Amino acid sequence: MFDILSFSEKLDMPKKEDALVGRSEPIATAKTHYVNGHNLKGPYPENMRHIIVAMGCFWGVERLFWKISGVYVTAAGYTGGFTPNPTYEEVCTGKTGHTEAVLVVYDPKILHLDEILKTFWEQHDPTQGMRQGNDIGNNYRSGLYLANDEDLKIAQKSKAQFEKALQSKGLGSITTEIALEGPFYFAEDYHQQYLAKNPNGYCGLKGTGVTCPIS
């Protein structure tokens, strides 16, 4: 088994050599999206693009994005850490380095990356470090993980714009991790589209009330 880190330890990232070992094979997950029936893990249509977002507990985050016109599929998962193919229980220990994240596959002819970024910034508080509201730990940190250098630059520019808007309202600096994507590990079946299956389930999303000035 694995030990759960103390409160203070969960606010730090583990070193790679200290992370849980994980496994070589992916954990079992759903085959199709519960809401729209699309293949969860692909293949996706050739024209689709994607981004990985982390905004705290992935249940509410996934629902936020599957409702947006132009989104082809969403999936809950884990990214940003060290442990290959982790389980939910392992991620919750804080010893994988992963954050709860959502893969958003979208049609760029319908939905622009800037619109996704605007939703991302406005619908959570990106200034909280290793937490989101009452959800505390490195597995709840804010993050943007991009598919290529062009998207990365767009995301970094949006961060600078929103940070100015936040600071004009007396709020702190953005702590969001912005990087090129690494491996994305799909979460267990029961996490996929959780709030479609459990409409009254927990959703921790809460924005700052500040508008992101992306044109």
Q: What share of the chain is helix, strand, coil (3-state, %, to 5)?
A: 30, 20, 55
The gap from C-alpha 131 to its chain's centroid, in whole angstroms, comes to 13
Q: Are 34 and 193 in contact (CB under 8 A)?
A: yes
pLDDT band of 5, cuts 50, 70, 90: low
Q: Where are the alpha helices (DSSP H) in the chain?
A: 58-66, 88-92, 113-122, 149-168, 194-197
For the entire predicted model, the pTM comes to 0.96
Does 57 participate in catalysis according to the annotation? Answer: yes
pLDDT tens, 49-79? 999 999 999 999 999 999 999 999 999 999 9
pLDDT, residue 11, reads 85
Given a cut of 90, whether residue 28 has pLDDT beyond it is yes
pLDDT band of 143, cuts 50, 70, 90: very high
Given a cut of 70, whether residue 112 has pLDDT beyond it is yes
As a whole number, the mean pLDDT across the chain is 96
Average pLDDT over residues 120-147: 98
**Candidates 57, 92, 203, 212; catalytic one:** 57
Average pLDDT over residues 99-104: 99
Residues whose CB falls within 8 Å of the CB of residue 154, separated by 6 or more in sequence, listed in order:
113, 114, 117
For the chain, which domains are there?
Answer: 25-197 (3.30.1060.10)
Given a cut of 90, whether residue 134 has pLDDT beyond it is yes
Given a cut of 90, whether residue 190 has pLDDT beyond it is yes
Joined tokens for residue 141: 């940190």
Residues whose CB falls within 8 Å of the CB of residue 108, separated by 6 or more in sequence, listed in order:
47, 48, 49
pLDDT tens, 149-180? 999 999 999 999 999 999 999 999 999 999 99
Under DSSP, is residue 211 helix (H, G, I), strand (E, B) or coil? coil
